[in-house]
A and B are shown apart, each in its own frame.
Chain A
């Protein structure tokens, strides 16, 4: 890594640490926390979807599993849902294994749809299994929650973990395997790469992080129900949107995408009244049409076109940390 990149990252980290004090109001802090949540979700998804090319339309399953791990501990055992932050990712990862093993035989859109179906099955099961999950009434935490600052730093920590993990993973041999699977699975197999195993290696950290965020969500919002945390339209699809907006297969893409999604979404909602969702939909179409590689992806493209020197990088595909 170049020296200036190290300094840039440190500066960014310091800025991130200082943000809740710059934006002093709980309202802005709430927005920041949401951005962090979605940035982590996007970064996690990106591992499997962007780098490894397995587009999952069912990541809400992991999010919901994480959230419910925390929630069910609270509901049935009276335990503090903070324990869920340890249990959630583990549950999500463990369940990710059979999911992956089953679904990775499928390719492209079929895989996407299989994950979508799984996400929905989870939602319906959690909705109907009332004795276990409290069904549509959800899980409501009554006790007072700590202040936003704590949640902010926690979310920041989780995002940091996700980014750092992604960075290490992508830079390693595994990262190359992921991209090779994405670009041409047959060729990768011909080279002797056990593709199913490596797809799983991409899925597991992805599920882990998503489950972690889910448990965090339970703690932060203090209320979950299956139609919220297992939602196809509001969680699974939006995660993909965030990543595509920001740039698939880039390290910072999902974070930028999350910032755009939350900030612009809220801006439109607060200012545009009845037309806010319409404006958002139009924006999505515009960005996809004209910035197909996402904001960060297009920046990379721009730099490449300008003839920047790159030593040993495989273009924008591996991301530009």
Chain B
């Protein structure tokens, strides 16, 4: 029983943090309707910024995160404005050019970071790294717990932003129907730029929360991209609640898979669920919730 509890708790905590990264992607995908394969590299850049803050000024990663977020916001806006926005207006046979552009961007970001930091593995140690609470035979990592709480706070704040502010509503409107939003006076281009920036900032936050738990190297982005869009699809594009649910679901599913099937197949569990949701629940878990 303790094993099951352990598995579920680990899954939930980790899933919550993945969800934060995925929320960034679901916003971007919802507004821009493209698959952003550069998302993972944005997470990676955010983690490096936090890492640099730690190394240079001894800033705790939870504080360094507050530096990484604005930096990534700006970076995201710049990328969107100068690169991706151009493509939205160009007529091409396949809209997938945009996806390939994000692949190119991902390559460039990864290589620039590799240039600066080399491919070495970097890690940070904080007083609470490796500390865990033992509750009833189940181990809860403190860093995971803190990360989860912060992720939930951010999710809630984002939800408030999207529902209570004008800009938030503009973003949601653009995601629902770009042209209709423009008729209503929303500057879709500007909204897209801001959304990309916002998504990038959230990606940076998610990554920073994971930094005390994990380690850092330039290729770490790919792992996050994969998880992010599994969660995005699971939850339904454009839905923050969905991304949260999706993240938790993926976390628990992978955990259960790792415990009861075997760790080699853990990723297969996530992928199979992903496929099933794609096929049978096209609007993701969000549609289950709304019903």
Contact = CB atoms under 8 A, between A and B. Distances in A.
Interface of A: 49-50, 53, 55, 102-103, 105-106, 108-110, 112-114, 117-118, 120-121, 124-125, 127-128, 182, 233, 237, 240-241, 244, 248-249, 274-275, 277-278, 280-282, 284-285, 288-289, 292-293, 297, 317
B100 interface: yes
A127 B266 CA distance: 12
3 closest A-B pairs by CB: A281-B107, A284-B104, A278-B111
Nearest to B35: A109
Contacts of B146: none
A182 to B, nearest CB: 8
Contact of A277 (B29, B107, B272, B275): B107
Nearest to A119: B271
22 contacts: A50-B93, A55-B94, A108-B95, A110-B233, A112-B35, A118-B275, A233-B222, A244-B96, A249-B93, A249-B94, A275-B111, A278-B111, A278-B115, A280-B107, A281-B105, A281-B111, A282-B108, A284-B103, A284-B107, A288-B104, A292-B97, A297-B93
A297 B94 CA distance: 12
A292 B90 contact: yes
B93 A317 contact: yes
A282 B265 CA distance: 36
Interface in B263-288: 264-265, 267-268, 271-272, 274-275, 278-279, 282
Interface size class of B (residues with CB under 8 A): 35 or more
A241 B94 contact: no
Nearest to A241: B100
A159 to B, nearest CB: 23
Contacts of B275: 114, 117-118, 121
A288 B105 CA distance: 11
Contact of A113 (B106, B222, B233): B233
Contact of B268 (A125, A278, A317): A125
B36 to A, nearest CB: 11
B153 interface: no
B101 interface: yes
A293 B93 contact: yes
B87 interface: yes
A223 B158 CA distance: 49
B186 to A, nearest CB: 23
Contact of B271 (A110, A117, A240): A117
Contacts of B103: 237, 241, 284
B34 interface: yes
A285 B92 contact: no
B134 to A, nearest CB: 32
Nearest to A107: B282
Interface in B229-275: 229-230, 233, 264-265, 267-268, 271-272, 274-275
A102 B279 contact: yes
The DSSP consensus for interface residues of chain A is helix
Nearest to B112: A278
Contacts of A108: 95
Contacts, number: 121
A248 B93 contact: yes
A278 B106 CA distance: 10
A56 to B, nearest CB: 10
A278 to B, nearest CB: 4
B103 to A, nearest CB: 6
Contacts of B222: 233
Given A106-B278, A109-B35, A277-B107, A124 B267 contact: yes
B101 A278 contact: no
B265 A128 contact: yes
Contacts of B271: 117, 120-121, 124
Interface in B102-156: 103-108, 110-112, 115
Given A109-B35, A113-B229, A285 B104 contact: yes
Contacts of B190: none
B278 A244 contact: no
B107 A106 contact: no
Contact of B101 (A233, A248, A285): A285
Given A53-B94, A118-B275, A289 B101 contact: yes
Interface string B204-228: 0000000000000000001000100
Interface string B69-107: 000000000000001001100111111110111011111
A109 B97 CA distance: 12
B86 to A, nearest CB: 6
B246 to A, nearest CB: 13
A78 B271 CA distance: 34
A237 B279 CA distance: 22
B33 interface: yes
